[in-house]
Amino acid sequence: MTDLNILPLGGVRENGKNMYAVSVNDEIFILDAGLKYPDTEQLGIDVVIPDFEYLIQNQDKIAGIFLSHGHSDAIGALPYLLQQIQAPVFGSELTIALAKIAIEEEKAIQGFDDFHVVNEKTEIDFGDVKLSFFNTTHTIPEALGIVMTVEEGQIVYSGHFKFDQTVEAAYQTNYQRLAEIGQKPVLALLADAAGTEETVKAPASERQIHEYIQETFEEAKGKRIIVAAVASNIQRVQQVIDATAKTKRRLVLTGHDAEKIVKTALDLNLLTLPEPKDTLFASEKELDQLPDGQTVVLETGKLGEPVKALHKMAKGEDPVVNIGANDLVFITTNPAFAVESYVAQTRNMLFKKGAIVKQISTDLRSSGHASKADLQLLMNFLKPEVLLPVSAEFRVMVTAKQAAEEIGLKEKQIIMAKRGDQLAYDGTTFDKVGAVTVAETMIDGDSLKDIGNVVLRDRRILSEDGVFVTVVTIDRKKRKVVSKPKMTSRGFVYVKANRDLMKEAGKLTIEAIEDYLKNAKAFDWNELKNGVREKLSRFLFNETRRRPMVMPVVMEVNQNRRPHHKGEPDKKGKKPANKKNQKPSSKNKKSKGQGPKQEQKPAEQAGK
């Protein structure tokens, strides 16, 4: 019997970050390598990617990385993954082109070129398993599902899909191919569940969305249109291009990602221009010269995330676009549930600027993911023995489970997997046999290292209650405090209005230090600072009911300074001048009885 295991490394009980490791005997096949954008509580984080530790430990077993489509939730973690492991990458022509764009700025992997283009007709024989593909309908062309065939049957990963009879040829699903796959046993189906949550609105077809965008452009006569869209949503970009041409406007692309992705799609003939490029597109430099009624700005943001860039525009921080009363801001992306409050805040700021704001999701149900009915149709094609809902938060996975039960699947045939669950095939079905610890990696800036929950906790404390710093100097030899503490507060209280609080905090600092110096048998800087921190934290909470980050900075007078003897070279190697020939200087005069000046040095940097 074939040794089959499925290990979700992301994409379950969360929106985005798709990555699934399927092992067949002694080989591991990685399905997608996506990222997700941070929740509002993940302060300062740029993106979140899967934990690669399991793959790093088993990298000699990895047969390849297989990408379903070119959105960031499927390929966004690839630049980080390829810095950790070396493996061939497979995907459709557009997906591979977008993957190359994603990694081209990473110096560590700029020489990587182990890419392989596949399509629906491709079959790859790895010995114990054969991989093949099928076209799916999504908001980007050349999206693929993946089929892994072993002796006992097939494991199918749907990728992101929906069924829409009105889409153009590059987006169409091959229903005959689905029927062929369903003729053989499907041991497990990893199915996109992101669009199955019950809603009042029926999902709109892409033809309806196209007409809606066209009507919006026509109604905005005399106004400049600013469209916020995901750069890799090629279908939406095509609809914006068509509406721009029909309303006799010119299109300005803002953002490096938008230009590269649009150029790539044009080169692959996956975007069509209804009129010559020179008359359709305008540069950012021409923006000020174009009349508002003849301008469309397509804003996609960094990494294809448009909402953050739109937020900057609303705050007046964008160097190119200054939003005003004669602008229509058209949000054509569906924001993740976790950032809906952020989108609402951005909309509010745009209205304050005087702009008209439209959001496609308020008028139509627009989705690139399978509805409940779509999922049921896919299951009727494939007849899986086991269903794993993926690509969705838990509450949405529950609706997918309900949809499966409605067409006859039993509860035991539906696996509500968690990250790290090890699902093994026993000859009849897949069961959980264990779990691997799989966290998530939070990326801040260019560092590949995980920021970690401790840093996030500190950021959250700083954002909510601020920081309180106390700086004090001690004499360890004499075991006493030699200067009054200096208090600083940022984001906690206003110092001038809380003098009594500061005064009492200073007294407690001295008490805590002197008590430690009196009783400690062996001096330890961490113990000293922790004692100050704990005492101040309790006091500040009792007085204010808030918990700022308390940072004690303890200095000491220099007790180890060696006296300088006559005729001995100084630190620069120079001998002192002869005292007899040395002229007195007012700067060097010392009053009678004045002792040597004490130098202070930081004993240790403050830390938690």
Confidence of residue 343 (pLDDT cuts 50, 70, 90): confident
Q: Who contacts 176 (Cβ-Cβ below 8 Å, separation ≥6)?
A: none
Q: Express each pLDDT in 100-116 by its tens digit.
A: 998 987 888 988 999 99
Count the helices and strands in the chain (H runs, E runs): 17, 27
Kindly write down the DSSP assignment for every residue of 415-445, as one continuous string: ----TTEEEEE-SS-EEEEEE----EEEE-T
Which DSSP symbol is given to 412?
G
pTM above 0.85, yes or no: no
- Shortest CA distance to 544 belongs to which of 459, 466, 598? 466
Q: What is the C-alpha separation between 237 and 333, in angstroms, rounded?
A: 11
Q: What is the C-alpha separation between 381 and 385, in angstroms, rounded?
A: 12
Does residue 170 carry a pLDDT above 90?
A: no
How far is it between the farthest Cα atoms of the chain?
108
Structure confidence at residue 454 (pLDDT): 53
Q: Tokens for 475, please give them.
A: 């004499």
Q: Are 554 and 601 in contact (CB under 8 A)?
A: no
Q: What is the C-alpha separation between 315 and 297, in angstroms, rounded?
A: 17
Average pLDDT over residues 497-504: 82
Q: Tokens for 65, please give them.
A: 């990385």
Structure confidence at residue 599 (pLDDT): 43
Q: Are 314 and 350 in contact (CB under 8 A)?
A: yes
Average pLDDT over residues 382-389: 98
Structure confidence at residue 28 (pLDDT): 98
Q: Are 268 and 93 in contact (CB under 8 A)?
A: yes
How many CB atoms sit inside 10 A of residue 112's CB?
A: 17
Does residue 456 carry a pLDDT above 70?
A: no
Q: What is the C-alpha separation between 359 and 309, in angstroms, rounded?
A: 16
Q: Which of 223-237, 402-416, 592-606 has the lowest mean pLDDT?
A: 592-606
Helix or strand or coil: residue 219? helix
Q: What is the C-alpha separation between 32 and 65, in angstroms, rounded?
A: 7
Q: What is the C-alpha separation between 146 and 159, in angstroms, rounded?
A: 7
Give Cα 367 to chain centroid, integer Å.
21
Q: What is the C-alpha separation between 572 and 284, in angstroms, rounded?
A: 57
Q: Which of 529-538, 540-549, 552-561 has the lowest mean pLDDT?
A: 552-561
